[in-house]
Chain A
Amino acid sequence: MNERIQTNSFDTLPEEDLMGLFQSTAPQPLRDAEEILQSADIQLHLARVPRRVFLRWGVSIVTALAVIAMVGVWLNTPPKQLWAQAADKAQQVSSLRCRYTALPLVNGKAVEDANMRLDGTIQWAKSGSLRQAVKNSNLDSLSVQPANEPGISIDHRTKSYRRTAAMKGAVPPLISIFERLASSRSEAKQDLGESEIEGRKVHGFEVETSTIDADFSGLGGVVRVWVDQETKRIARMQWNQMNMVHTVDHFVWNEPTGDWFSLKPPEGYANQTPVPANLEETTQHIITGLKAFAKYSNGDYPKVKFLYGDVTAAKLAELNGADKIIKTIFQPGRLLDDDARRLADKPEYQEYIKAVEGFARINGLERDNPDCAYYGIKVSSKDTDKVLFRWQLETGEYQVIFGDLSHRIATKEQLKTLETK
């Protein structure tokens, strides 16, 4: 084919030859879709559970805790003057454990459906640590999330586990809810009368959630609560949400938490924690690129707001002299000969190649990261404590690179302070 192409005009080149030439430049394959899913820190074991079921469960756990908090106050407060005492009492709860059940709601009633039924256990400590076990026909998992620390998610079906990032603000702060509700008012909307739960006499009430706190207007508007007449503690709570009837009962209060929040996986379980994007590697690439640029521009970084990788790389090549090498070795048709190899091994070209990777990463982050900023216009290498570049991490925190190319992880609040410098 090459001979034909060289001896004939391209204008008359047969389409099959053109196609052959085109196909000979076929791009390299990209990553497999499964690999992408695995590396994206996705809970593959939960992925096999229908999303609606998972959503119901996730929402319900949070809801359950909020409801426990609300009713804990309500229970102690029919006389309004007891609100403050109720709040005090609520704050004395050091831990709770309860059973959680969800059943599909059909024609206003909970019905048994083995495929839809969810059974779980919630364990909570005043510190904010949370342990949730859930099981149904598709799922058998345990999630342990100590307060403000990384946790673990265990899948008993596949005998595997994965480490999880610290949970930020996803669990309602029970105690603060107690405090907030101490000044609000609530009334039983309807007296459900006396009944028995597991042999114990209880009295049921229906409470409008909006009377407890306007922010909790969900949950179908009402929560049904049954109180043990002897102990005066909650025996059962129930609410409807998302076509499911959610029930929490079998409460145990103020137990020692012991090893509730142990992060040790069961013996023999496989660690399937996805490999996260290597933050340190990315950071080092970026620092290498910026450092090389500053080296040839009196300590200045690319003075742009949006850093285009290819444009910045070309500028660096001009600055450090790599452009001459590039022009030489990238002549059309030049093969990998010894001269080219020797040129490519030169320090300026190597410096350029390494920097390109860093510029590409900045470019990619500026393009894709939800909260990323580059301040090369106003920050130089002399500005040791000023933020030069920062981007948001999956944890919600920020990776921050300063003018002197030191770096650290900062919370959103810390970042605000850093960016005012």
Chain B
Amino acid sequence: MVADQDQPLEHTKDSNLAWTARDTVSFLAAIRPWQASVCRILSRVLGDRHDAEDVWQSLVLRWWQSPGNLPAPDKFPAWLRRCAVNEAIRVLRRQKKLNHHGIDNVPARQVGPWEALTTDELRTDMRRAMLSLDPEDRALLALRFDEGLTIREIAEVLERPPATVYVQLERVVDRLRKLLGIHFSEQRKS
């Protein structure tokens, strides 16, 4: 999770991946290469653009103000992604939205009015299917499909054994397939 604000400030040995509190230039230089990835993860896990914007903003300000003990450079991307996943799940817990939506109870408006009007049926189904999953599962899919991480890399981000990640990923991909099938067959019937 995000480092404790009371922790002493420290640089990593690699100056490109370190910043002291409120050092904007160094902070942006360190963050920018991973910004898009972190934002995608937040959007996927939270399932709501506005929530993702809120969480992203709070993370940026927190990191900028108090970087805490930054990880070693080779652990930095995993650390950032882990912060994003954990923070998104924490926010969902606070909002009491952690329990996944029922398959038939995914509010279409979460896609956004005009966005939904312009997407094709498969994309809409995919979005609905994603919202039917647990946030942890959405994180797994985001890390695998959006970020293209290996099992070992995902394991590092989520701090779980690779074997566990492998099994979980198999399970969630299978579940995603089933959800898509249900949506798709329902739609064809109609």
A binding-site residues for B, Cβ under 8 Å: 2, 5, 9-11, 13, 15, 18-19, 21-34, 36-37, 40, 42, 44, 46-51, 54, 308, 310, 313-314, 326, 329-336, 340, 344, 353, 356, 360, 364, 367-368
- Chain B, interface size category, equals 35 or more
Q: Is the CB of A50 within 8 A of B20?
A: yes
**Contact pick for A23, options B116, B122, B146, B178, CB 8 Å:** B146
Q: Is the CB of A48 within 8 A of B25?
A: yes
Q: Is the CB of A18 within 8 A of B176?
A: yes
| Cα(A25)–Cα(B141), bound, Å | 12
Is B81 on the interface with A (CB-CB < 8 A)? Answer: no
**Contact pick for B177, options A13, A24, A33, A34, CB 8 Å:** A13
Q: Is the CB of A344 within 8 A of B117?
A: yes
Question: Chain B: which residue is nearest A46 at the CB level?
Answer: B22
Extra contacts, 13 of them, besides A2-B120, A11-B178 (Cβ < 8 A), are: A19-B144, A22-B146, A26-B146, A31-B53, A33-B35, A33-B60, A36-B57, A47-B23, A48-B25, A51-B20, A54-B22, A310-B107, A344-B113
Interface string of B75-107 (1 = CB under 8 A from A): 000000000000000000011000000000001
| Cα(A326)–Cα(B109), bound, Å | 8
Is B158 on the interface with A (CB-CB < 8 A)? Answer: no
Q: Is the CB of A5 within 8 A of B122?
A: yes
Q: Is the CB of B123 within 8 A of A27?
A: no
Q: Is the CB of B24 within 8 A of A330?
A: no
Interface residue ranges of B156-185 to A (CB < 8 Å) = 173, 176-178, 180-181, 183-184
Which residues of chain A come closer than 8 Å to B28, judged between CB atoms?
33-34, 37
Q: Is the CB of B145 within 8 A of A332?
A: no
| Cα(A334)–Cα(B44), bound, Å | 23
Which residues of chain A come closer than 8 Å to B183, judged between CB atoms?
332
Question: Chain B: which residue is nearest A30 at the CB level?
Answer: B39
Is B15 on the interface with A (CB-CB < 8 A)? Answer: no
Q: Is the CB of A326 within 8 A of B108?
A: yes
Question: Chain A: which residue is nearest B185 at the CB level?
Answer: A10
Q: Is the CB of B128 within 8 A of A332?
A: yes
Kindly provide the distance from the CB of B16 to the nearest chain A CB, expressed in whole angstroms: 16
Give 20 pairs: A residue, B residue, CB < 8 Å, sorted on A: A2-B122, A10-B181, A13-B180, A19-B145, A21-B180, A24-B123, A24-B126, A25-B119, A25-B127, A25-B130, A28-B49, A30-B56, A50-B23, A51-B21, A51-B22, A54-B22, A329-B117, A333-B124, A333-B187, A336-B114
